[in-house]
């Protein structure tokens, strides 16, 4: 069996466009075969050749939109056969649950019982007070979620993670009720909000009560070995406060208020005052990127451009509170420069969306300018989709550390553009990005752990390594042509950008996982779900 028909290994929804990719030299007849009966249920000819520079391949699209009957299938063309996939109503339900559960499994400062965590059960971890860097003062900053394959807890990525999850909840309110087999601390809030509260309770502890500034992160001085979290016993150190952490904290907590208010007005008031205090504190801070203190070598999240953090926070606080000062700051910035981004580094899009959706009176002209900018950016993504063999908005320069997240965020952008312009083709393009992540990609692998026939087996994730079993429900970073770790350097020399991925434990630059890669995918799938329900 060849490896040259790439499909979404999780599946396709009955009424959606369905595409697979054939890579090879010639045009071929293809058949879609029903796994149960062995019969051809659909047939056709592969599409025109697209040279995909990023993958250095000749690709041809296989379309089988007309096949809507639920079932298990595979595709045959020449000597090639794809893996089995499903056509199923809301085929991603289980994947979504497992991606949500991941947050629970990343919990720090508590023990995880077997009943919910299975083999990843562990004792209470990281529960000693942490030393504030450069002082002899200790502070309780327990709780929150481990950021990634390491056990650090960092404010900047935490803020975008919860922001993604709030956007998801806003787009698909049903998500709030989705059960994901984790204990629910506040049942009235529903599982997801309750889980997010676990992270926010930690974030609140990371604010300096006196100044309102927010500490950048809490980690040990070094990354530890591959063991379970409770075995990391080195001293916990709180790194200095940073401008980005302070504003991201302000923005994401402002976003949180309206979700918690109906259940807990007092908590909402705490969030409001923490958010405002952080914003005011940031106004007095030096606008400077965070740099690791000399002895601390854990993740830096040292963002270079910091305008977007102020842009986002101003928009979000304006949306939450309506004050002129936030509005003015945002509008002045937006009239000068509109940009995009849903990542930890570039958070412009959160700001754009917050402003447009604000219920307080705003500048309608500016609102339309922002929508036009979103539309224009989506249009440029469409151009990329057309020249990519997998119909995704990437070229050979796009494969940087965490490329899967950038790809997912492009899809979020396409959805956002669809939301404001109703141009159907944005929606169809976005869906191809979902399929890419789940297996229709040049690496021929499903980038969600625990899913697909071709699975990721060695994610850079300490609990998975310690238990010798990949934790399911994690979105992998994906190809990075920068070869940013020795294992990538060893295995991927000379590979095309889109194939710079290796399923090795030590390849942290291609095979790690993070909170914000999962939340990005959840946010995209939530939009997809909502939209799917509307179309049905």
State yes or no: residue 148 binds ligand 9MR (CB under 6 A). Answer: yes
Q: How far apart are CA 512 and CA 390, in angstroms?
A: 23
Positions in 105-124 near Zn ion (CB under 5 A): 108
Residue 108 contact partner, candidates Zn ion, ligand 9MR, ligand G3I, none, CB within 5 to 8 A by sort of partner? Zn ion
Catalytic residue among 308, 346, 512, 531: 512
Residue from 90, 138, 186, 223 in contact with ligand 9MR (CB under 6 A): 223
Looking at beta carbons only, is 354 or 471 nearer to ligand 9MR?
Answer: 471
460 catalytic? Reply is yes
- Cα 496 to chain centroid distance, Å, stands at 24
Q: To the nearest whole angstrom, how small is the minimum distance from the Cβ of residue 409 to ligand G3I?
A: 11
For residue 142, what are its two tokens?
Answer: 């327990």
164 catalytic? Reply is no
State yes or no: residue 514 binds ligand G3I (CB under 6 A). Answer: yes
Decide: 108 and 145 in contact? Cβ < 8 Å.
yes
CA distance readout (Å), 371 to 125, 168, 218, 368 = 45, 20, 38, 5
Residues facing 468 on adjacent strands? none
Looking at beta carbons only, is 186 or 223 nearer to ligand G3I?
Answer: 223
Looking at beta carbons only, is 6 or 148 nearer to ligand 9MR?
Answer: 148
Residue 223 contact partner, candidates ligand 9MR, ligand G3I, Zn ion, none, CB within 5 to 8 A by sort of partner? ligand 9MR
Only one of the segments 54-62, 153-161, 320-328, 504-512 lies at the binding site for ligand 9MR (rule: CB under 6 A); that segment is: 504-512
Q: To the nearest whole angstrom, how small is the minimum distance from the Cβ of residue 493 to ligand 9MR?
A: 19
Residue from 16, 503, 512, 531 in contact with ligand G3I (CB under 6 A): 512
Residue 281 contact partner, candidates Zn ion, ligand 9MR, ligand G3I, none, CB within 5 to 8 A by sort of partner? none
Which 3 state secondary structure label does DSSP give 18? coil
Only one of the segments 60-68, 126-134, 387-395, 511-519 lies at the binding site for Zn ion (rule: CB under 5 A); that segment is: 126-134
Residue from 81, 127, 307, 345 in contact with ligand G3I (CB under 6 A): 345
Catalytic residue among 9, 57, 147, 150: 150
CA distance readout (Å), 454 to 2, 7, 97, 445 = 13, 11, 20, 5
Query: 422 CB contacts (<8 Å, ≥6 apart)?
Result: none
Residue from 14, 229, 439, 496 in contact with Zn ion (CB under 5 A): 229
49-53 contacts: CB < 8 A, separation 24 or more? Answer: 50/387, 50/388, 50/389, 51/389, 52/388, 52/389, 52/390, 52/442, 52/498, 53/387, 53/395, 53/396
Pairing of strands 80-81, 85-87: unpaired
Give the CA angle between residues 9, 10, 16 to the nearest 5°.
105
State yes or no: residue 314 binds ligand G3I (CB under 6 A). Answer: no
Q: To the nearest whole angstrom, how small is the minimum distance from the Cβ of residue 512 to ligand G3I?
A: 4
Q: To the nearest whole angstrom, how small is the minimum distance from the Cβ of residue 146 to ligand G3I?
A: 9
Residue 345 contact partner, candidates ligand 9MR, Zn ion, ligand G3I, none, CB within 5 to 8 A by sort of partner? ligand G3I
> Residue 61 half-sphere exposure, CB side, CA atoms within 13 Å?
18
Decide: 176 and 534 in contact? Cβ < 8 Å.
no
Q: To the nearest whole angstrom, how small is the minimum distance from the Cβ of residue 295 to ligand G3I?
A: 16
Q: How far apart are CA 499 and CA 443, in angstroms?
A: 6
Q: How far apart are CA 149 and CA 298, in angstroms?
A: 12
| Alpha helices per DSSP H over 301-400 | 307-321, 324-336, 348-357, 364-386
Q: How far apart are CA 339 and CA 307, in angstroms?
A: 10
Q: To the nearest whole angstrom, how small is the minimum distance from the Cβ of residue 467 to ligand G3I?
A: 19
Looking at beta carbons only, is 112 or 256 nearer to Zn ion?
Answer: 112
State yes or no: residue 148 binds ligand G3I (CB under 6 A). Answer: yes
Q: How far apart are CA 178 and CA 162, in angstroms?
A: 17
Positions in 150-169 near ligand 9MR (CB under 6 A): 150
Q: How far apart are CA 276 and CA 264, in angstroms?
A: 19
State yes or no: residue 121 binds ligand 9MR (CB under 6 A). Answer: no
For residue 373, what are its two tokens?
Answer: 């900018």
Decide: 460 and 513 in contact? Cβ < 8 Å.
yes
Largest CA distance in the chain: 72
Catalytic residue among 16, 460, 504, 531: 460
DSSP sequence for 226-254: SS-GGG--SPPEEPPB-HHHHHHHHHHHH
Pairing of strands 29-34, 40-45: antiparallel
Looking at beta carbons only, is 227 or 360 nearer to Zn ion?
Answer: 227
122 catalytic? Reply is no
Catalytic residue among 232, 272, 309, 503: 503
Q: To the nearest whole angstrom, how small is the minimum distance from the Cβ of residue 517 to ligand G3I?
A: 8
State yes or no: residue 125 binds Zn ion (CB under 5 A). Answer: yes
State yes or no: residue 227 binds ligand 9MR (CB under 6 A). Answer: no
Q: To the nearest whole angstrom, how small is the minimum distance from the Cβ of residue 509 to ligand G3I?
A: 7
Residue from 60, 126, 276, 462 in contact with Zn ion (CB under 5 A): 126
Looking at beta carbons only, is 316 or 504 nearer to ligand 9MR?
Answer: 504
For residue 117, what are its two tokens?
Answer: 């965590």
531 catalytic? Reply is no
State yes or no: residue 402 binds Zn ion (CB under 5 A). Answer: no
Q: Which residues bind ligand 9MR (CB under 6 A)?
A: 148-150, 223, 299, 506, 508, 512
Q: Which residues bind ligand G3I (CB under 6 A)?
A: 147-150, 152, 299-301, 345, 400-402, 482, 484, 508, 512, 514
Catalytically active residues, by annotation: 150, 460, 503, 512
Q: Which residues bind Zn ion (CB under 5 A)?
A: 108, 125-126, 229
């Amino acid at each position: 069996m060849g490896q040259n028909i790439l499909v979404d290994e999780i599946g396709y929804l009955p009424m959606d466009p369905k595409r697979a990719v054939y890579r090879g030299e010639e045009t071929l007849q293809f058949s879609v075969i029903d796994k149960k009966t062995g019969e051809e249920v659909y047939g056709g000819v592969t599409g025109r050749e697209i040279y995909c520079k990023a993958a250095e391949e000749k690709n041809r699209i296989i379309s089988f939109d007309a096949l809507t009957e639920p079932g298990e299938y595979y595709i045959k063309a020449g000597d090639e056969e794809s893996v089995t996939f499903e056509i199923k109503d809301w085929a991603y339900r289980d994947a979504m649950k497992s991606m949500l559960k991941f947050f629970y499994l990343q919990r720090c400062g508590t023990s995880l019982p077997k009943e919910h965590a299975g083999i990843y059960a562990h004792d209470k971890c990281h529960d000693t007070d942490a030393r504030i860097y450069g002082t002899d003062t200790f502070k309780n900053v327990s709780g929150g979620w481990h950021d990634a394959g390491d056990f650090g807890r960092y404010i900047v990525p935490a803020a975008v993670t919860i922001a993604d999850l709030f956007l998801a909840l806003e787009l698909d309110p049903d998500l709030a009720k989705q059960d994901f087999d984790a204990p629910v601390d506040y049942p009235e809030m529903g599982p997801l909000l309750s889980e997010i509260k676990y992270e926010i309770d930690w974030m609140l502890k990371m604010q300096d009560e006196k100044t309102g500034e927010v500490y950048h992160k809490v980690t040990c001085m070094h990354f530890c070995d591959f063991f379970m979290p409770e075995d990391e016993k080195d001293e916990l150190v709180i790194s200095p406060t940073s401008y980005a952490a302070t504003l991201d904290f302000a923005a994401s907590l402002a976003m949180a208020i309206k979700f918690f208010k109906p259940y807990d007005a007092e908590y909402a008031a705490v969030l409001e005052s923490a958010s405002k205090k952080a914003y005011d504190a940031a106004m007095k801070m030096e606008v400077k990127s965070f740099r690791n203190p000399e002895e601390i070598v854990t993740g830096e999240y040292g963002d270079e451009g910091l305008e977007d953090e102020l842009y986002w926070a101003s928009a979000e606080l304006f949306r939450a509170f309506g004050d002129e000062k936030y509005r003015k700051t945002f509008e002045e910035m937006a009239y000068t420069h509109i940009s995009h981004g849903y990542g930890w580094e570039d958070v412009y899009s959160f700001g754009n969306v917050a402003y447009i959706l604000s219920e307080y009176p705003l500048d309608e002209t500016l609102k339309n300018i922002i929508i036009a900018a979103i539309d224009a950016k989506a249009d440029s993504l469409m151009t990329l989709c057309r020249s990519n063999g997998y119909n995704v908005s990437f070229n050979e320069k796009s494969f940087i550390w965490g490329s899967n997240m950038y790809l997912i965020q492009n899809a979020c952008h396409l959805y956002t553009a669809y939301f404001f312009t109703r141009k159907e083709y944005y929606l169809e393009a976005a869906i191809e990005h979902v399929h890419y992540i789940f297996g229709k990609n040049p690496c021929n692998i499903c980038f969600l752990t625990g899913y697909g026939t071709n699975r990721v087996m060695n994610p850079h994730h300490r609990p998975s390594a310690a238990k010798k079993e990949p934790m399911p429900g994690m979105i992998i970073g994906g190809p990075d042509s920068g070869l940013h770790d020795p294992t990538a350097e060893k295995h991927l020399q000379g590979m095309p950008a889109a194939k710079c991925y290796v399923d090795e434990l030590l390849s942290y630059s291609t095979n790690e996982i993070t909170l914000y890669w999962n939340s990005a995918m959840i946010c995209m799938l939530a939009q997809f779900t909502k939209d799917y329900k509307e179309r049905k």
